Amino acid sequence: MTTGQGLVVVVEDDPAVVDLLRLYLGRDGFGVQTYGDGLTALAAIRAHRPVAVVLDIGLPGIDGIEVCRRLRADGDRTPLLFVTARDDEVDRVLGLELGGDDYITKPFSPRELVARVHAVLRRAQPHDQERLALGPVEVDVTARRTRVDGRPVHLTATEFDLLVHLLRSPGRVHSRESLLGAVWGYGAAAGTRTVDVHVAQVRAKLGPDAPIRTVRGVGYAAEVEK
């Protein structure tokens, strides 16, 4: 059953974690449906169209990575938060351009997870009418569409907001910490490596002329190579 915040599907096979997430998400006004295996969850996500998915990687049947891959292949852009068992899975999850919007590593604070769910939902909301362009890249902020030389490019909600944040101030150098706060909405203690991974994913999708410059030791800037 959904409530005011909408339905969140939690895909997790640890009963203790499931109970905790159901409690905290429910307290925050979300309806919660939980599933313990990938195939059942995939069918439920397609049927119920939740506002967000909390997806463990290690699942019976098909794992969380394959669930995400199949959803994105169907064109389903539901905001998705990966739950990983170890830090060394982060590069594997976010570096494969699977389309996950964020990740959290076990053990985690349920309050932080709820905050991250809110963050990915905020990033998925359209902004006021706005169009941005730099080099071959054109962005319709309102429609949340990106094109390179007229060709549509599909970005996740987080990738899109990262690109928009950079494009809104071309030439300005943003530190990794400032990008983490502006785009992800939580403190630098969460780790800046995710910024590097997402920038790499955006560049890969935009192609060789992606207007994002690395400033060594500092961060990134939206800039066309001269």
Strands 7-11 and 31-35: parallel
* 81 and 150, same domain (yes or no): no
Query: What is the Cβ-side half-sphere exposure of residue 174, based on CA atoms within 13 angstroms?
Result: 27
Provide the mean pLDDT of the chain. Answer: 85
| Domain contains 116 | yes
Position with higher pLDDT, 151 vs 157: 151
| Domain contains 113 | yes
Domain boundary among 123, 158, 184: 123
CATH classification at residue 151: 1.10.10.10
* 11 and 85, same domain (yes or no): yes
pLDDT reading at 188 higher than 50: no
pLDDT reported for residue 90: 58
Domain count along the chain? 2
* 55 band by pLDDT with thresholds 50, 70 and 90: very high
Which is it for the CA torsion 82, 87, 89, 91, positive or negative? positive
- Alpha carbon distance 225, 48 (integer Å): 45
| Domain contains 11 | yes
| Domain contains 2 | no
Q: How far is CA 6 from the centre of its chain?
A: 18
* The pair of three-digit structure tokens given for residue 142, joined into one six-digit string: 């309102």
pLDDT reported for residue 21: 94
pLDDT reported for residue 53: 95
CATH classification at residue 15: 3.40.50.2300
| Domain contains 216 | yes
* 151 and 66, same domain (yes or no): no
Domain boundary among 74, 98, 123: 123
| Domain contains 77 | yes
* 33 and 117, same domain (yes or no): yes
* 150 and 218, same domain (yes or no): yes
* 50 band by pLDDT with thresholds 50, 70 and 90: very high
- Alpha carbon distance 223, 37 (integer Å): 44
Position with higher pLDDT, 90 vs 211: 211
Domain holding 211, by residue range, is 131-222
What's the pLDDT tens digit per position in 5-33? 789 999 999 999 999 999 999 999 999 99
pLDDT reported for residue 1: 47
